[in-house]
Amino acid sequence: MTLEHYIAVGSILFCIGLYGALVRKNFVLILMSIELMLNAVNINLVAFSRFINNAAYDGQIFALFIMIIAASEAAVGLAILLAIFRNTGLIETDSVRSMKG
């Protein structure tokens, strides 16, 4: 596989995740789709790090940072989700119509 193939794979994965985040109503599915999008970006970064520059490891380091952000995003997002579920009994986007608790 060449660099273009890796970028194509990352693009397709990103678009699948974007479609899931736009189309599904379940909060868990939306969060999983966002994880998929971040993951697709990681594929691109690691592929760049291998194919483009001879000495630098910047791509892999950026991928590690994205991993950190994704982990904390998942933790906080799922905590918010469980708080919403505790208040409304639903985990769909329609269940959150007001900001009042």
Partner 1 sequence: MTEPFLKDVLSWIIVAAMLGSALRMVFHKNVMHSAAYLAVTLVGTAGLFFLLYAEFVGISQLLVYAGAVVVLVLIAVMASTKTYARMELTGPAQTGTAAIGVLALAALMIYLSFRTAWNTSGLKPYISTKGGDITPIGEGILIQYVLAFELASFILLGALIGAIVLIRKEPEDAP
Q: Is 34 in the site for partner 1 (CB under 8 A)?
A: no
Q: Residue 27 contacts by C-beta under 8 Å, 6 or more apart in sequence? A: 81, 84, 91, 92, 93
Residue 87 interacting with partner 1 (CB under 8 A) = no
Give, rounded to a whole angstrom, the gap between the first and last alpha carbons of the chain: 51
Rule CB under 8 A: say whether 36 interacts with partner 1: yes
Residue 22 or 98 having the CB closest to partner 1: 22
The answer to the question of residue 1 lying near partner 1 (CB under 8 A) is: yes
Indicate whether 96 belongs to the interface with partner 1 (CB under 8 A).
no
Reduce the DSSP state of residue 45 to 3 states and report it. helix
Among 68, 98, 99, 100, which residue interacts with partner 1 (rule: CB under 8 A)? 68
Which distant-in-sequence residues (6+ apart) come within 8 Å of 30 by Cβ?
20, 21, 24, 93
90 φ/ψ angles, rounded to the nearest 5 degrees: -130, 155
Binding site for partner 1 (CB under 8 A): 1-4, 6-9, 11-20, 22-26, 28-29, 31-33, 35-36, 39, 42-43, 46-47, 49-55, 57-58, 60-61, 63-65, 67-76, 78-83, 85, 89-92
